[in-house]
Amino acid sequence: MDSSRYASFTTKDFLADDDFVSAVISPTDASTRFWKQVAEHYPDKQEAIAQATTLIRGYRAQDTFTNASRQAELWKRIEAEVGPVEAQPKVLQLRPRPLPALLRIAAAVVPLGLGSLFFWYNQDQHFETAFGEIKTVEMPDGTQVLLNGNSSLTYERGWGKNSREVWLKGEGFFRVAHLNKDSTHIKPGERFVVHCNDLAIEVLGTTFNVNNRHAKVDVGLVTGKIKLTVAAANKPASSVVLAPGDYVEYAAKTISPKKKLAHPETLVTWCKRQFIFKDGKLGDMLKVLEDTYGYQIKYSKTAVQELKIEGEINVTGVEALLETISASLHVSIYQNGKQIIVN
Amino acid sequence: MSSAEDALLLWDLFKQGDWNAYTKLYNQYFKLLNNYGYKFTKDINFIEDAVQDLFVKLWTTRSNLGNPLSVKNYLYKSLRSTLFRKLQSNSRFTEIQDDNSLPFEASFDQAVIATEQEQELRVKIKVVIDKLPARQQEIIYLRFYESFDYEEISDIMNITIASTYKLLYKALHSVESVFKDSNISNSF
């Protein structure tokens, strides 16, 4: 390397020199040797070199903010938004009745063109899941809805032209395709609305979980922004806007105050047939088995339902859940087919 | 193989839809991106949302992405524009038209053990740099902390290479005043 150009360098020039800067930041034996030679060769540049070095090293001694403790958490949010859906094989089922296995494979393989043709000429589209069944519904706009057991999703013929509206019973996780390009001009077809009884959930593109059972709707938002509106006959509609991690319950015409979930991604653990409860009450935990798996639960004493498991449990599968409850609350649980008796 | 080449290989796999490669990209750059974002805002939720938006957009548009100069470079550039865009849409009613107005601030670790002279100098550096306009602070950061070269900086900050030189020299002109009356011995 020719060093003659350094004869006229000032501190500023050294700081602007690529070779010099990289020799300070990531020195190699060769580069250190070279700069030593330059300093010896031009003694009057020694101060400038020293100043430039000190400045770079001093500047680099600043704090780093890595946010490392949030790395895994944020990844889960990203995964929930775009990650592979870990549900059962995709089945486009056009009738409530389950198709024979062979037909089911055929339905999945038939090019989408045929399927969407069917969509247009069919009346209301209706998808249902049996107890314990989890199904992905792929809508014409690319929106994915993961339906939990004992749930249904309905939308009208010619869907998506003027508006994207669906009706949900039971529980579903929505990953809505974002069509809006300009948030100041929202076209009607870009709006996506989920109706649960008289509650409307309005979104542009986002991921959230809705549980509409027992005259009560629970809504938890994973990413994006949604607006909930309650339709009322006599008074103006009331609405609430949710931010990521917000969770509300709607019952008796009223939306509860917003709660902030520490782990919004746990809203959709049911996709993996996982059960996660924090300080869960026995009654609430077994209610899930009734709702989505079709079990009938009988209690010898109603007070048993109030027993609580302190802390968090995280198990996969019905059997594991029953074992955990039985062991930690010292209750006997008998299972006979779809009947569960708690003593 | 250099880490930059490794990153480009990973990038290629990710573009083909390899979820594993995408996960690795996230894990490799998460901390760096957070640090960079933190220079613009201390609102951690805001930074996290921007990082999330950035990665979600990467995945959904992966088939249209090209091959960047370097992956790190591309991600910095994208995070920067995501932050600016989010900031503008958050304050649609205030008149932020010029992206130069986003503050940029480097913070210094007081806990690092240093000699008294070094400590004193570090404080001086901080005082001088904190007074620089945001864009000058940013170029100092990209140059001396991240060691990006001129071409990369011009790409990230979306200015010409000539402007990059000009901006850095302007910043260095002020920085020189740190040494007005200090004596430093040879460090090589």
Note which residues in 220-249 of chain A have CB less than 8 A from chain B.
Answer: 223, 244
Residue A234 lies in a domain: yes
Number of compact structural domains in chain A:
3
A250 and A292 fall within a common domain: no
pLDDT digits (tens, 9 = 90+) for B137-148: 999 999 998 889
Token reading at B141: 């950061």
pLDDT at A1: 57
A53 and A89 fall within a common domain: no
Domain boundary, last residue among A218, A235, A265: A265
For residues B172 and B184, what is the distance between their CA atoms, to the nearest angstrom?
Answer: 18
pLDDT at B100: 44
pLDDT at B144: 92
pLDDT level of residue B31 (50, 70, 90 thresholds): very high
Residue A65 lies in a domain: no
pLDDT at A15: 92
Q: Does A43 touch chain B (CB under 8 A)?
A: no
Note which residues in 62-81 of chain B have CB less than 8 A from chain A.
Answer: none
A94 and A236 fall within a common domain: yes
A43 and A112 fall within a common domain: no
A117 and A254 fall within a common domain: yes
Q: Quick one: which of A329, A341, A262, A337 has its CA closest to A297?
A: A341
CB contact under 8 A, B186 and A50: yes
pLDDT at B125: 84
pLDDT at A94: 35
pLDDT exceeds cutoff 90 at B169: yes
Domain boundary, last residue among A222, A239, A265: A265
Residue A325 lies in a domain: yes
pLDDT at A183: 63
A125 and A211 fall within a common domain: yes
pLDDT at A104: 45
Kindly indicate whether the ipTM for this predicted assembly is greater than 0.90, answering yes or no: no
A114 and A247 fall within a common domain: yes
CATH of the domain at A285: 3.55.50.30
pLDDT digits (tens, 9 = 90+) for B72-92: 999 999 999 998 888 776 644
Q: How many CB pairs under 8 A join A and B?
A: 131
pLDDT at A282: 87
Mean pLDDT calculated for residue range B34-57: 90
CATH of the domain at A82: 2.60.120.1440
Residue in chain B closest to A29 (alpha carbons) equals B188
A96 and A34 fall within a common domain: no
pLDDT at A325: 85
Q: Quick one: which of A125, A206, A109, A197 has its CA closest to A159?
A: A125
Residue B37 half-sphere exposure toward CB, CA atoms < 13 A: 29
A114 and A201 fall within a common domain: yes
Mean pLDDT calculated for residue range B152-158: 92
**How many of the other CB atoms lie within 10 Å of CB of A41?**
12
Query: Is A199 strand, coil or helix?
Result: strand
CB contact under 8 A, A66 and B35: yes
Domain boundary, last residue among A224, A242, A265: A265
pLDDT level of residue B182 (50, 70, 90 thresholds): low
A135 and A189 fall within a common domain: yes
pLDDT at A285: 86
pLDDT at B166: 94
Note which residues in 44-63 of chain A have CB less than 8 A from chain B.
Answer: 46-47, 49-51, 53-63
A99 and A38 fall within a common domain: no
Q: Quick one: which of B175, B166, B99, B115 has its CA closest to B144?
A: B175
pLDDT digits (tens, 9 = 90+) for B112-125: 445 676 677 778 88
Residue A303 lies in a domain: yes
The pairs formed by A307-310 with CB atoms below 8 angstroms and a separation of 24 or more are: A307/A281, A307/A282, A307/A331, A308/A279, A308/A280, A308/A281, A308/A282, A309/A277, A309/A279, A309/A280, A309/A282, A309/A285, A310/A279
DSSP state of A343: -
pLDDT at A141: 82
CB contact under 8 A, A15 and B175: yes
pLDDT exceeds cutoff 70 at B95: no
Residue A43 lies in a domain: yes
Higher pLDDT, B7 or B4: B7
pLDDT at B181: 58
For residues A313 and A324, the answer to whether their CB atoms sit within 8 Å is yes
pLDDT level of residue B183 (50, 70, 90 thresholds): low
User: Chain A: nearest CA to B89, how far in angstroms?
Assistant: 9
A49 and A110 fall within a common domain: no
- Structural domains in chain B, CATH included, are 3-100 (1.10.1740.10), 109-179 (1.10.10.10)
Structural domain of A18: 4-60
pLDDT at B138: 92
Higher pLDDT, B95 or A195: A195
pLDDT at B76: 94
Note which residues in 100-159 of chain B have CB less than 8 A from chain A.
Answer: 106-109, 112, 114, 118, 121-122, 125, 129, 140, 143-145, 147, 149-150
Mean pLDDT by 10 residues, chain A (343 residues): 83 91 90 90 89 87 84 87 57 38 44 47 76 84 85 81 84 82 70 86 80 85 82 73 84 83 74 79 86 85 84 81 84 82 84
